[in-house]
Amino acid sequence: MKCRKCTNRAAINMRQHKLALCPEHFIEWVQQQTERFIKKYRMFTRDDRVLVAVSGGKDSLALWDILLALGYQADGLYIGLGIDGGIDYSAESHRCVQKFVEERGDGLTLHVVDVEVLYGASIPEAARSVARGRGKPCSVCGLTKRHIMNRVARDEGYDVLATGHNLDDEAATLFGNTLQWAVGYLRRQGPVLPASAQGLARKVKPLFRFYEREMAAYALLRGIEYIYDECPYAAGATSIRHKELLNELEISSPGAKLQFYLHFLQAREQYGIFQPQDSTVELHTCPTCGQPTTNPEQCSFCRTWERVREQMTKRPTAKATNP
């Protein structure tokens, strides 16, 4: 198959767009499309300082690469979670991020926050001590990552926080939330989440219209080394099953995923349903960390980590092991 724009062989065929492109034109297309989405959804401008949350995976590193190629002021934030999982997950993901930074030379800023160094326990240890070994550490992990991202964005004066969520992630989340009619979550879903209170960073997802395979192809063609493995705790997650279901649908109806997500955004705009702003929620300032919270007292992050520290001091030798 030939590239739509030149006579070279196509590297990727995107059935949903009826578009096949060679490596050079595919890279150009991804970057131009990202620029278009950033403008269309008013995510940020070249005057804004953007903090990109990089996990070491293909999407976040591709996002950072694209923003740099487009000339945006983009710095990175890597959060070390202390997850091993038999594959050195955190160490390996950190290595990929570090390699990305080194390859691009001086002038790139990467903030690194190591959860264990800063708060005294890795994510699996923290989860074990508060949940007594039951369940996955994902809720503690999500809570901690959100807190750190927000804190770094606020303390370092960034205008916006960008994450590498792609269409497959967003469509699967939307699918899960719709199955549950989880109105609260549906209100909070979208490519742009405005800063809802003083001290809460504005969040954007510039890759939300790209399929996962497009991002994998982009990372590969740009020579970005990324961690292939998912976090070991992601196995068995409902969102993975939802992704599989949507992929099955996509095979028989190319573009189904994209339409599902775009029609949700359109319905929100046209009919005013699931509007992101919920003015009925009153926010307070956490007396410990100063971040906005719906709790009248301490925020859930501070309460959780206080409990973790209590448990860790009670059982100083009970150092939890990773899965």
Q: Return the range that interacts with Zn ion (CB under 5 A); candidates 179-187, 208-216, 244-252, 281-289.
A: 281-289
* Residues 43 and 161 sit within 8 Å (Cβ to Cβ): no
Count, in order, helices (H) and strands (E) of the chain.
Answer: 12, 10
Does 234 bind ligand Q46 (CB under 6 A)? Our answer is: yes
Tell me how far CA of residue 56 lies from CA of 76, 111, 282, 294, 310, in angstroms: 11, 13, 36, 31, 32
Q: Return the range that interacts with Zn ion (CB under 5 A); candidates 15-23, 72-80, 214-222, 228-236.
A: 15-23
Q: How many residues bind Zn ion (CB under 5 A)?
A: 11
Distance of alpha carbon 70 from alpha carbon 102, whole angstroms? 19
Q: Nearest distance from residue 138's CB to ligand Q46, in Å? A: 3
Report the relative pairing of strands 49-53 and 73-80 from DSSP bridges: parallel
Single out the residue of 11, 12, 14, 22 in contact with Zn ion (rule: CB under 5 A): 22
| Tokens matching residue 259 | 């339409």
319 burial level (CB within 10 Å; 0-12, 13-18, 19+): exposed
Q: How many residues bind ligand Q46 (CB under 6 A)?
A: 8
Binding track over 118-157 against ligand Q46, x by CB under 6 A: -----x-------------xx--xx---------------
* Residues 199 and 154 sit within 8 Å (Cβ to Cβ): yes
Q: Return the range that interacts with ligand Q46 (CB under 6 A); candidates 106-114, 182-190, 228-236, 286-294.
A: 228-236
Compare residues 102 and 297 and give the one whose CB is closer to Zn ion: 297
Q: Nearest distance from residue 110's CB to Zn ion, in Å? A: 25
179 burial level (CB within 10 Å; 0-12, 13-18, 19+): exposed
Q: Nearest distance from residue 252's CB to Zn ion, in Å? A: 29
Residues near 277 by Cβ (< 8 Å), separated by ≥ 6? 194, 196
Q: Nearest distance from residue 215's CB to ligand Q46, in Å? A: 16
- Selection from Zn ion, ligand Q46, none that 299 binds (CB < 5 to 8 A by kind) is Zn ion
| Tokens matching residue 289 | 């960390």
Does 302 bind Zn ion (CB under 5 A)? Our answer is: yes
Question: Which residues lie near ligand Q46 (CB under 6 A)?
Answer: 123, 137-138, 141-142, 231, 233-234
Binding site residues, Zn ion, CB under 5 A: 3, 5-6, 8, 22, 25, 286, 288-289, 299, 302
